Amino acid sequence: MISLHGYVGANAELGKPDTGGQVVYVLELAERFSRLGKRVDLVTRQFEDQPEYDVVDENYSVWRIPFGGKKFIRKEDMHDHLKKFVTNTLAAIKKERKKYDVVYTHYWDAGWAGQKIAEELGISHVHTPHSLGWWKQHSMGSDMDEKEMEKTYRFKERIRKEYFVYQMCNYVIATTLPQVDLLTKQYDVLPKNCGMIPPGIDENRFFPVPSKENDKIRAKYDIQPTDILALGRMAHNKGYDLLFQALPTVFELCPEARLVAAIGGDQSEQDNQGIAKLKKMAEELGVADKISWKNYIADEDLANVYRSANIFVMPSRYEPFGMVAIEAMACGTPTIITVHGGLCDLIDFGNQGLFADPHRPKEFGAMMAMPLLYPKLRNELSVEGARFARRNFGWTGIAKRMLEVFRSSINQRTMESNIY
């Protein structure tokens, strides 16, 4: 497995730059592959003062390959260093005399490098995009100047590399059905060479608890029974500004409600600037006194914070999937999600969850108010949402489905090799 950007490790530093849902995804899958008896090297970049190996168990290690110097490199700038990663990784594999059956890569940076490595090793390559450059570029619309957008995100380079990866790898595993549609229409991927397997959740961490127990949890985290929770990285696509614009509608309908904003995490200058803009917006909207700020939620507290809130909200401008929403649902917290992503296509509206367009503040605000106004609806969303999340997104079941794709891909490559 290859996942290059961010802080990947056995104990991931979630909330740091480029270190979020994708890192959780690869770590969970690697652990489940190991439990199912497969030997796994999760290969990533070595930088700062990180060790070469994190040995997780006898089957599974995080293996760091140095390239690009000692400093953090944001994912948009990985273009400049991928050739060195390929060279260094192939040399390390030869030195260590490692043998692999399949390369499984994540995001375009690892995908481009992984395709080169798979070709050199003569083995199968399976890829998960996590997000698509074409979609991200078009979803951002007119929010940013075109030249500034290209300078910041380097979409032309990214989309060119994505096209190469999706055409050349043996199989693309998308995380949503809209991604599959875009792969075939915008990247010319043959339908037989791509499919959808959703992300998973840790069933042992994310589950509902009795209401009396939840009362004690709320007291610990200073969260009230009528609070709305928003949680995630401080990033433009997460749509927190859109959420704030919807708050006056919520508070008009439910004066007792508050927003618990667990936004950001690494205390970087970018995070601090983003939060400062949101606080200024809250003042201008007259809702500043109805917001409780929580900068960083430790991983061990995450499930309890989900459980504590009355509802969870995901207002993203675009969201390839939305792991945080599934985690919240699994904890029994009713969830309101964006329509701009794949998850809304999977849930039964009004039964397992609610969705709305965050670009329409009154619509989104009204939808957030519904579970607060109608306890019977809230209880149904809580129970059915948790059932939906656990039945469909447990990591062990997801890992077994992945292994079937790997077996098919390996068999197909073996057949092609025998022909030639």
The answer to whether the beta carbons of residues 104 and 406 sit under 8 Å apart is: yes
Give the chain's domains with CATH numbers. 21-200+395-419 (3.40.50.2000), 211-393 (3.40.50.2000)
- Distance, in Å, from the CA atom of 296 to the CA atom of 335, rounded to the nearest integer, reads 21
The answer to whether the beta carbons of residues 126 and 103 sit under 8 Å apart is: yes
Confidence class for position 90, pLDDT limits 50, 70, 90: very high
pTM attached to this predicted model: 0.68
Judged against a pLDDT cut of 70, whether residue 141 lies above it is answered with: no
Residue linked to tokens 């390239």 = 67
Lowest mean pLDDT among 158-172, 216-230, 338-352: 338-352
Supply 161's token pair: 């590399």
- Give the model's pLDDT for residue 198: 86
- Give the model's pLDDT for residue 142: 59
Judged against a pLDDT cut of 90, whether residue 304 lies above it is answered with: yes
Judged against a pLDDT cut of 80, whether residue 118 lies above it is answered with: yes
Tally Cβ neighbours within 10 Å of residue 48.
8
- Distance, in Å, from the CA atom of 187 to the CA atom of 133, rounded to the nearest integer, reads 10
Give pLDDT tens digits for 334-346: 999 999 987 888 8
Judged against a pLDDT cut of 70, whether residue 143 lies above it is answered with: no
Confidence class for position 144, pLDDT limits 50, 70, 90: low
3-state secondary structure of 126: strand
- Give the model's pLDDT for residue 203: 85
Answer with the residue of higher pLDDT: 180 or 201.
180
| SS3 readout for 96-117 | HCCCCCEEEEEHHHHHHHHHHH
Judged against a pLDDT cut of 80, whether residue 39 lies above it is answered with: yes
Average pLDDT, the chain: 93
Q: Quick one: which H or E segment has residue 313?
A: strand 311-314
Q: Which residue type does 241 have?
A: D
Judged against a pLDDT cut of 80, whether residue 310 lies above it is answered with: yes
* N residues, the chain: 420
Judged against a pLDDT cut of 80, whether residue 66 lies above it is answered with: yes
Confidence class for position 135, pLDDT limits 50, 70, 90: confident
**395-400 mean pLDDT:** 92
- Distance, in Å, from the CA atom of 323 to the CA atom of 326, rounded to the nearest integer, reads 5
- Give the model's pLDDT for residue 129: 96
The answer to whether the beta carbons of residues 260 and 307 sit under 8 Å apart is: no
Rounded percentage of the chain residues whose pLDDT exceeds 70: 97
β 311-314/335-338 pair status? parallel
